[in-house]
Structure 1
Amino acid sequence: MVTIIDTLRGAGDLPRLRHPEKAHRPDQDNTLPKPDWIRVKAPVSKGYFETREIVQSNKLITVCEEAGCPNIGGCWEKKHATFMIMGGICTRACAFCNVATGKPNALDANEPASVGRAVAAMGLNHVVITSVDRDDLDDGGAEHFAATIRAIRAAAPGTTIEILTPDFLRKPGALETVVAAKPDVFNHNLETVPSNYLTVRPGARYFHSIRLLQRVKEIDPEIFTKSGIMVGLGEERNEVLQLMDDLRSADVDFLTIGQYLQPTKKHHAVIRYVPPAEFESFATVATSKGFLVVASSPLTRSSHHAGEDFERLKAARLARAVAA
């Protein structure tokens, strides 16, 4: 069988950095002033505080807090949250991410049930579950993902489930375990173009991530697949367009594109704030390439408006099937 690795251009897993002058220098202050279109208001609503109470009372971690997401106020006001399982310590040190890096604690066997209870208490129609990278575990945490999906199905059978997973690099059978639990949407983010991987995502492999997404569809064609990237990290436009083609070659349904925001001065610098018109242009091109749904704006994040986007995915798949 011909795979995506056979059909994509012949490049290694770790591409050469083509823009060394754009690499982040920790000893330099490269902070750019934020433009008006990237600013958001601090959360103060009643719904926000109610969501925070449910999260804290169940002793859960959300990526909304850990990653400092700018959309937390709007999402939590609507009782939308992305739960981060398997602890708050990651085994990798990506240059864009604000999650702590180190030696993680042992898995909490009660966590899947706690997530299920929180989903039921919030009355969610759609939930997003993500995690830190757990390279220390034999299966990368795949069974814990599966157990969490099963617990949500038991506690809130009407809730649709989206997962945002690590790459399970060098973990045989991990992907199959997660797909067998039948999430409704399988998301795995590429994060950036391949020429940036050495400086932005050094622990990952671009073509492994592409192949991971392709394998999901080979195992279960009914599962929607999704991936996302950040822009403003020094990528060129033609690299973003090639990445779109790579994802479509893997039959990925949904693409998100958002502006990278530097969490602290120790993280990779923002090379450029991309104006809204360019995000609109990316959306137009991506739609023409065949993605069912595209979300592209400065404040777009992987799980922002996930519930509404899931409905759009179902409608787009149905419309395409009717047209065929």
Structure 2
Amino acid sequence: MVTILDTVSDRKERPRHPEKAARPDNPILRKPDWIRVKAPGSPVYRETVDIVRENGLVTVCEEAGCPNIGECWSKKHATFMIMGDTCTRACAFCNVRTGLPEPLDATEPGKVADATAALGLTHVVVTSVDRDDLDDGGARHIADTILAIRERAPGTTIEVLTPDFLRKDGALEIVVEARPDVFNHNLETVPSNYLTVRPGARYFHSIRLLQRVKELDPTMFTKSGIMVGLGEERNEVLQLMDDLRSADVDFLTIGQYLQPTRKHHRVERFVTPEEFKAFETIGRSKGFLLVASSPLTRSSYHAGDDFEKLRAARRQRLGA
């Protein structure tokens, strides 16, 4: 067992955006005993690596340094990150590099669909970098990816984790029209942290985005996630839950923020497993169909199993 965030990868380290590099060094706190992950390296993990590489794809599992990569890839559960590996935002928590992205690859939707079929995924999660440089924020590319997966892996359910499409009129409608099974957009943190943690985004715009999805398609599952340990207060997390429920969001994920490097936002504290359990209980009482809350919870962690729980919870609620 290891407690490090770094994982085995064939990718070379690349320079990061100067906005992140300019931040003062923060010592990385020693992780508590309850944050433990298995080092990757099983035969199935290597098979997943090979499929990803053969299709020339990028995964958020690697780019964001997800601590669950060993477990998920050993089950052939990879989360694809489309539209390149360079983000136009410079969020203080994120390990994805920032800068000016390359042009979109028109063949990428087909490659994601091929990899989805090759991995035999019953549920696939597709996320992306922010593409503020594009007129539609990449909405059409996301929709094309959904449609390609529908064609080549018709039995697979699809979850998209999208950018906020800030100042991109009509972009959200393009994605919803492609009918993913789950529309996910993460708030990431409480509003008081936005200027330091997520400066390029707007909290209430993100709330409105999620609300708009339900207005366009009331049957579509909506989902959002946050990290804790960034200096938020408990009452702020509870207010955020209320804000999401006012937008009729179905599913909330809560996980511990882990500092990728000394150049990123520091961990203010490690939230205990008991506190995570309390957040789950409170979230369910507020009306979410599902709340996943634990130190290692991430947006796409156990996403396939959680989707089945979502459907079951909705059936139970409608039948009540």
Report the TM range for the smaller structure's normalisation.
Answer: over 0.9
Tell me the equivalent position of 2:173: 176
Deviation string for 1:161-212 (max 9, x for gaps)?
A: 0000000000000000000000000000000000000000000000000000
Correspondence for 1:209 among 206, 209, 222: 206
Residue 189 of structure 2 corresponds to residue 192 of structure 1: yes
Tell me the equivalent position of 1:229: 226
Q: 1-side partners of 2:24 and 2:282: how far apart?
A: 38
Paired letter, 1:235 = E
Residue 90 of structure 2 corresponds to residue 101 of structure 1: no
Deviation string for 1:222-244 (max 9, x for gaps)?
A: 11000000000000000000000
Tell me the equivalent position of 1:157: 154
Tell me the equivalent position of 1:311: 308
Correspondence for 2:63 among 66, 71, 76: 66
- Specify the SS of the correspondent of 1:154: helix
Q: Cα distance, 1:116 vs. partner?
A: 0.5
- Specify the SS of the correspondent of 1:38: coil
Q: 2-side partners of 1:31 and 1:103: how far apart?
A: 28
Give RMSD over aligned pairs.
0.9
Paired letter, 2:65 = G
Q: Which has the higher contact order (CA 8 A, sep 6+)?
A: 1
Deviation string for 1:84-143 (max 9, x for gaps)?
A: 000000000000000010000000000000001000111110000000000000000000
Q: 2-side partners of 1:152 and 1:27: how far apart?
A: 43
CA 26–91 in structure 1, closer or farther in 2 if over 3 Å, else same: closer
| 1:1-324 aligned within 5 A | 26-323=23-320
Q: 1-side partners of 2:198 and 2:169: how far apart?
A: 21
Q: 1-side partners of 2:95 and 2:301: how far apart?
A: 18
Q: 2-side partners of 1:311 and 1:175: how far apart?
A: 25
> Unaligned stretches of 5+ in structure 1?
1-24
Tell me the equivalent position of 1:7: none
Identical counterparts, % of pairs: 77
More off after superposition, 42-51 vs 258-267: 42-51
Paired letter, 2:131 = R
Tell me the equivalent position of 2:15: none
- TM-score, structure 2 normalization: 0.92
Q: 1-side partners of 2:314 and 2:253: how far apart?
A: 17
- Specify the SS of the correspondent of 2:155: coil
Paired letter, 2:314 = R
Aligned 8 A contact 2:26 2:263 in 1: no
Q: Cα distance, 1:33 vs. partner?
A: 1.2
4+ residue segments displaced more than 4 Å? none
Aligned 8 A contact 2:230 2:257 in 1: yes
Q: 2-side partners of 1:103 and 1:220: how far apart?
A: 34
In the comparison of the two structures, how many residue pairs are matched?
299
Q: Cα distance, 1:27 vs. partner?
A: 3.2
Q: Cα distance, 1:28 vs. partner?
A: 4.8
Deviation string for 1:266-285 (max 9, x for gaps)?
A: 00000000010000000000
Q: 2-side partners of 1:292 and 1:66: how far apart?
A: 30
Q: 1-side partners of 2:252 and 2:24: how far apart?
A: 34
Q: 2-side partners of 1:154 and 1:72: how far apart?
A: 28
> Unaligned stretches of 5+ in structure 2?
1-21
Paired letter, 1:220 = D
Q: Cα distance, 1:38 vs. partner?
A: 1.1
- Specify the SS of the correspondent of 1:267: coil
Q: 2-side partners of 1:180 and 1:67: how far apart?
A: 29
